[in-house]
Amino acid sequence: MGKEIILNNVLEKLPYHLRSFILKQPYDGYTSQNQSVWRYVMRKNIDYLSAVAHESYIKGLKITGISVDKIPKMEGMNRILKDIGWAAVSVDGFIPPNAFMEFQAYNTLVIAADIRTAKHIEYTPAPDIIHEAAGHAPIIANPEYAEYLRRFGEIGSKAISSAKDYDLYEAIRHLSIIKEDPNTLQKDILEAENAIDKITSNMGEPSEMSKIRNMHWWTVEYGLIGNLENPKIYGAGLLSSIGESKWCMSNNVKKELYSIAACHVGFDITKPQPKLFVTPNFAYLSFVLEEFANKMALRNGGLTGVEKLIDSKDLGTIELSTGIQISGKFTKVITDENKRVVYINTTGSTALAYKNKEIIGHDKDYHCDGFGSPIGKLKGINIAIEDMSPTDLEVYGIYEGKRCNLIFEGDIIVSGEIITGKRNLQGKIILISFKNCTVKKGDEILFDPSWGVYDMAVGASIVSAFSGIADPNSFGLHFEPPKEKTHKIKYSTDEIKLHELYTRVSLIRNSKQAELNALKDIFKNLETDFKSDWLLVLEIYELIYNEKDKEFTNKVLSHLKGLSQQKSIANLILDGIDLIKKP
């Protein structure tokens, strides 16, 4: 993250592994046409959304410092957002779901730096600053919704992904990048779409991340609120899409009461949604979120949780009943005849923690070759090791300097001399270290004395399993930003000339003087050299609408109506004209 990026007091709390995604907003890179796209969408949205959006939207635009006329600057937004305990950062397009949600957990909005092209003014599959800033930011001014968003990030960032989830993320990111680039060949877009279809058709059992990502889509992105007959819009995807915000209010889109069942409903980012979910209020969103969280490995642990971590092929954490946390890449689990976990293994760098703080001396460098430990009670003994009193421990020969032979219920045998142990805040043993130690199950050697000191985590059961590291800062967790960057559009000589015309009109508008001769000259250029551009013609019409030169006004209007014969832009032009004519 560049030194020139200014952090407010909210951003200062971000963990370092998230900061690699943050980039300096390329504000000087926005063209005058980009600014006009922002202005058109915002003016049209505010006019329409005033009637159909949740009441927090219009209020939130003012509270979060979002201007109608200009693309917002991150620094300006952050000066205002900090007053409601939030912040915003600029990133390059889609970032991995876990990282995106973790930003939310730290009260930080992730805002894609780029802006949609005029060609995709109604809707873009790529995240852009209209979607993120004008869609997400205003609603967080509502405290109840803001807390839902934060809590969603907190829980969602712990959801376990499958290995295929990341393939899907990269495929979607690639499609969104090339689709927004006007220079992309159609065959490349079709190839990218086919790649997504191939991945989605072979995903297998949906992961926790895929389910909670569905819930995020149907609430934060495409949510409706109120009653089924007359709902209001609060989802950012709808608030930022001037096409779909109208479409979603029609009877063509089925409305259903939001429930946990939405976690099983997938979505297509490239098409209008045929069905949307309606929540009665923001509090109900949190109720459903907690219902889902209660089904996650985060709160249930067990064999299922470990198997999900193994399937993810990524860093994860399990927490035992004593509170000790093991963070690394889980590769092996041994169960007994009742499918209870009796032994776990990680491969590669592993760290141990307690209450999300790394245990001194048990970092990833010390456990660089992985970690293994039995889980459960000792065979024939009802009381778990962590619940044993000092007298119990002495009776069973579990104390420093004693060579012992611990036989666990899963027939895991730990034989060695106890060096030391660690206890948690309640005085329960959470870790026992041995020398000259052998760990085996039957004839299988799980730890050999030649490997050094054996550290055994103590816990009767796995109570939690989640994605990520218990103490990411101490672990030195680092996310690599996506390798494929959003394409920087290469403008032709003609396009650069067109942007210069947009700049001239912008300067005239800001001067608050019509300057008819200059506008006539610009319009003449448009008529001869840029016959298909409608947005700048509309801006000229707006400036001269109340002028006395009706001949010029009618000429511009006639040109616009001629362009509106093209079906793809008809509504955009006619809606723009209607907006200008309103008081």
Q: Which residues of 153-165 are buried (b: 16+ CB within 10 A; e: fewer)?
A: bbbbbbbbbbebb
Q: What is the mean pLDDT of the chain?
A: 92
The CATH H-level (homologous superfamily) assignment of domain 11-162+205-290 is: Aromatic amino acid hydroxylase (1.10.800.10)
Q: What confidence tier does 6 reach under pLDDT thresholds 50, 70, 90? A: low
Mean pLDDT value of segment 456-466: 98
Q: In sequence order, what are the residues at sequence separation of 6 or more whose Cβ sits closer than 8 angstroms to the Cβ of residue 511?
A: none
Percent of the chain with pLDDT over 90: 69
Instruction: Say what the pLDDT of residue 237 is.
Output: 87
Residue-range domain boundaries for the chain: 11-162+205-290, 297-475, 493-581
Question: CA distances (Å), 477 to each of 19, 315, 356, 471, in order?
Answer: 11, 10, 14, 9
pLDDT in tens, 402-417: 999 999 999 999 999 9
Percent of the chain with pLDDT over 70: 98
Amino acid, res. 397: G
pLDDT in tens, 220-241: 999 999 999 999 999 998 988 8
Q: DSSP letters of 102-119? A: HHHHTTEEEEES----GG
Q: What confidence tier does 164 reach under pLDDT thresholds 50, 70, 90? A: confident
Report whether pLDDT(513) > 90.
no
User: 226 vs 113, which has greater pLDDT?
Assistant: 226
pLDDT in tens, 338-395: 999 999 999 999 999 999 999 999 999 999 999 999 999 999 999 999 999 999 999 9
User: 144 vs 172, which has greater pLDDT?
Assistant: 144
Taking the model in full, what pTM does it have? 0.88
Q: In this structure, are residues 130 and 240 in contact, taking their beta carbons and an 8 Å threshold?
A: yes
pLDDT in tens, 478-492: 888 888 888 888 889
Instruction: Say what the pLDDT of residue 450 is.
Output: 96
Mean pLDDT value of segment 462-474: 96
Q: In this structure, are residues 433 and 421 in contact, taking their beta carbons and an 8 Å threshold?
A: yes
Instruction: Say what the pLDDT of residue 5 is.
Output: 61
Instruction: Say what the pLDDT of residue 4 is.
Output: 57
User: 123 vs 255, which has greater pLDDT?
Assistant: 255
Report H helices in 359-432.
Answer: 390-395
Mean pLDDT value of segment 190-210: 88
Angle at 569 between CA 568 and CA 573, to 5 degrees: 160
Instruction: Say what the pLDDT of residue 286 is.
Output: 97
SS in 3 state form for 302-332?
HHHHHHHHHHHCCCEEEEECCCEEEEEEEEE
Across the beta sheet with 254-257, what order do the strands follow?
232-233, 224-225, 275-279, 254-257
User: 137 vs 254, which has greater pLDDT?
Assistant: 254
Task: Dig out the tokens for 404 from the structure.
Answer: 């012992």
Instruction: Say what the pLDDT of residue 544 is.
Output: 94
Instruction: Say what the pLDDT of residue 2 is.
Output: 45
Report whether pLDDT(76) > 90.
no
Q: What confidence tier does 472 reach under pLDDT thresholds 50, 70, 90? A: very high
pLDDT in tens, 25-35: 999 999 999 99
Report whether pLDDT(3) > 60.
no
